[in-house]
Structure 1
Amino acid sequence: MRYLDRTVDWLAAHGASHTAREISQQPRLWRELGGSLTAQEPDWAPWLHAILKTPQLRILLCGAGTSAFAGRALAPLLRERTGRRVEAVATTDIVANPRAWLDPRLPTLLVSFARSGNSPESVAAVELADQLLPDCHHLVLTCNPDGALAQRALRGERTYAVLMPDGANDQSFAMTSSFSCMYLAALALLGGYPLAEVRSRTEAVAALCEARLAQWPHLARDLADRGLRRVVYLGSGSLAGLAEEAALKLLELSAGHLATRFDTPLGVRHGPKFMIDRDTCVVMFLSSQPYVRRYDDDFHAELLRDGIARRVIALRPDGDDALSAPLADADDLWLALPYLLFAQLLAFECSLAQGLTPDNPCPTGEVNRVVQGVTIHPWGARP
């Protein structure tokens, strides 16, 4: 058996087995997730739809690190699609300054993205919301049925947990299939799509990603072998949140050996463009929205004209070459999934090119799979 065009023996010898398998399994898990959401619809739909009818409802998409970026990649287009008040706030921000983010005047649905459900900030954010918000419900999207947040849902009337498919609880250091499954679950539950349409779109994106899994590993390996020192990810709107996740993935799997940055095609001109030099690869996530795409194309043309970057990779929803991700009638919410896959593959190959073990790029333990060393202080405590 092979994953990402490498044998299982080779991957095991290079400490890459979990990461390679977890990247490769995503299309299958997305299909399984669609099936489980359909089977469980009689349970979650009445609970969730009753909450979504609440006047002035505020929806907070929360998580720490990669889990926070799932919310940031969803919030802009969920607001646009549904007309609801949808905001993405990291649990690390809520815990550090809860009054700045939790508004007791508004009924709130706090959506927790949590691979393990045991991150101290994620648990603390839920507890703070219950302390400070008189009308708060919780939707927990998690990969771990035994985690603190999943177990909490079993005891609370105002909490519902949706479990990701078996296998989504990544064993590798970096979140890959856990991120995409939780992202897709939130899209299905909150995106305003009929569930049958979710299943149809999921099948289309899964089939596309399976095809790209046969092509993109070679492209990613070629980029990683070029001696890059910096990678800049650019995207607009929801794709800006995806760019943030892509930059973190590469930073994690390269153990900080590669400098990474995310920005928007408009924002990067305002100073951060200095980061782009002969040792830099720029990866652009081009939008499917015609108006947004004009700004994407303008900066793409500027980069090619400047000629200062080592490589410029423009992933796009149109075309028939290796960098395209054509999905019929797809908006950026769905386009994010193949773009994400490319970013994961590049991070994986860069990790190997740096001589690291992708399953655990920090074996000395300064950075951990589930964050450690955080002291949660009681609300109202004084120094």
Structure 2
Amino acid sequence: MTTLFERTSTGWRDIGGLDTAEEIAHQPALWEALATHLGAMRERIQAFLGDSLRDPRQTVILTGAGSSAYVGEIIADEINAAWPCQVRAIPTTSLLTHPALYLEAGAPTLLVSFARSGNSPESTAAVQLVRDLAPAARFLNITCNAQGALARQGEHDAGTLNLLMPAASCDRGFAMTSSFSCMLLAALCALDPDFQPEHMATLAELGRQAIDGWSAPVATLAAQPVSRVIYLGSGPLEALAREAALKIMELTAGRVMTMANSALGFRHGPKAAVNGETLVLLFRSADALSRRYEEDLLAELRRDGVAHAVLAIGTGGEFGIDTPPWPDAWLAPLWLLAAQQYALHQSALLGLRPDNPFTGGIVNRVVQGVTIHRHDES
């Protein structure tokens, strides 16, 4: 009988969590499948992008809603530093409400959309908005659903490239897990000039090691009830902290309150949230300067002796693994494996059904109830 994260498959099925457990566990295999697919697509991707990223006038907007927005936030600075073009991460939820702040009609624009299903109303509305306000814009859709509205919207448009993830990455469970890591890695592979194909094979092997090595200790940690979880991260890992915090908020149906912040920003007020029922988890950066600031904060929090526990995720941390000297954006999917497992166990601990914690339909897998308002109507 298969065991996933210290519980049998039957056990996960019985509590309504098998889809989510499997979708966390199969990520390394999906990363390998993704590498093969991207290799086959490489010439098409390069032809579509052309020299646009070398143009200082080019604006690249990385967009999505919720977890999909965090994908863009994790990679934006890495990609921006690599090219002369201007790269920004702007959620669809901001583009739609304040388009005049972000879109310029005459500027060459590439909209990179991240979407698990591609059926969220904001996804397609953001594309239409950019078409209206920046008529020469082009569109790169990174999505897990070939039948979604986002993919279908641009499948016959020469100015659009659909970059589809492996079909199994379109998570059946409520929370985005494998969809998140696959879209993040696909964007890095497509847009990072330093990408080497062997990166993905190495990452997949590290992912397997991380899942095997962290399974028992993460389950043990999650068996200790807490009422608050705080994730901290610096640079690109601050956005990863937001994604990790959201996973707990979603899978516990809001019963465990969460917060995310940077290592340096945490002292400026948010530290007041720490009490005896708080778990603090810090994603350790690969950057030497950032790590010094992080170590200072970890030492301070442990001296305070207030939090239930203060732990680090990343090389040298309580949940760590030796990695190549890669940037934080490339390592983020590894560290997220620990956070996803922890959220899964917290959901089970509270007696919820991880595959759908919101049985009353208050929050849905694909957002509902959004009315799209025209930008040109007062």
Settle same-fold status: TM greater than 0.5: yes
Alpha-carbon distance in 2 for matches of 1:297, 1:265: 9
SS in 2 for 1:167: helix
- Per-residue CA deviation, residues 243-288 of structure 1 (Å, 9 max, x unaligned), is 1101111100010000100000111111000011110000101111
Q: Contact 2:56/2:85 (CA < 8 Å) preserved in 1? A: no
Displacement of 1:218: 1.9
Displacement of 1:307: 1.2
| TM-score (norm. length: structure 2) | 0.97
Q: Contact 1:54/1:107 (CA < 8 Å) preserved in 2? A: no
Q: Does 1:352 align with 2:348?
A: yes
Name the counterpart of 1:170: 171
Displacement of 1:55: 4.1
Name the counterpart of 1:94: 95
Q: Does 1:365 align with 2:365?
A: no
1:253 to 236, 251, 254: 251
1:311 to 309, 321, 337: 309
Q: Contact 1:315/1:325 (CA < 8 Å) preserved in 2? A: no
Displacement of 1:49: 2.5
Q: Which runs of 5+ in 1 are unaligned?
A: none
Name the counterpart of 1:285: 283
- Per-residue CA deviation, residues 267-323 of structure 1 (Å, 9 max, x unaligned), is 111100001111000010111111111111111111111111111111232x4x752
Q: Contact 2:312/2:318 (CA < 8 Å) preserved in 1? A: no
Displacement of 1:137: 0.7
Alpha-carbon distance in 2 for matches of 1:32, 1:152: 25
Displacement of 1:326: 1.5
Displacement of 1:61: 0.5
Name the counterpart of 1:149: 150
Q: Does 1:380 align with 2:376?
A: yes
Q: Does 1:328 align with 2:324?
A: yes
SS in 1 for 2:117: coil
Q: Does 1:211 align with 2:209?
A: yes
Compare 79-88 and 361-370 and name the one that shifted more.
79-88
Q: Which runs of 5+ in 2 are unaligned?
A: none
Compare 170-179 and 72-81 and name the one that shifted more.
72-81
Name the counterpart of 1:26: 27
Name the counterpart of 1:66: 67
Name the counterpart of 1:140: 141
Name the counterpart of 2:274: 276
| TM-score (norm. length: structure 1) | 0.95
Q: Which amino acid aligns with 1:15?
A: G
- Per-residue CA deviation, residues 23-44 of structure 1 (Å, 9 max, x unaligned), is 0010000011011110122222
Alpha-carbon distance in 2 for matches of 1:256, 1:93: 24
Q: Contact 2:45/2:190 (CA < 8 Å) preserved in 1? A: no
Q: Which amino acid aligns with 2:5?
A: L
Name the counterpart of 1:106: 107
Name the counterpart of 1:338: 334
Q: Contact 1:77/1:237 (CA < 8 Å) preserved in 2? A: no
SS in 1 for 2:110: strand
Q: Contact 1:78/1:84 (CA < 8 Å) preserved in 2? A: no
Q: Does 1:11 align with 2:18?
A: no
| RMSD over equivalenced CA pairs, Å | 1.3
Q: Which amino acid aligns with 2:372?
A: I
Q: Contact 1:215/1:322 (CA < 8 Å) preserved in 2? A: no
Name the counterpart of 1:236: 234
- Per-residue CA deviation, residues 70-106 of structure 1 (Å, 9 max, x unaligned), is 0111112222233531111000111112112212242
Compare 44-53 and 147-156 and name the one that shifted more.
44-53
Displacement of 1:139: 0.4
Alpha-carbon distance in 1 for matches of 2:191, 2:131: 22
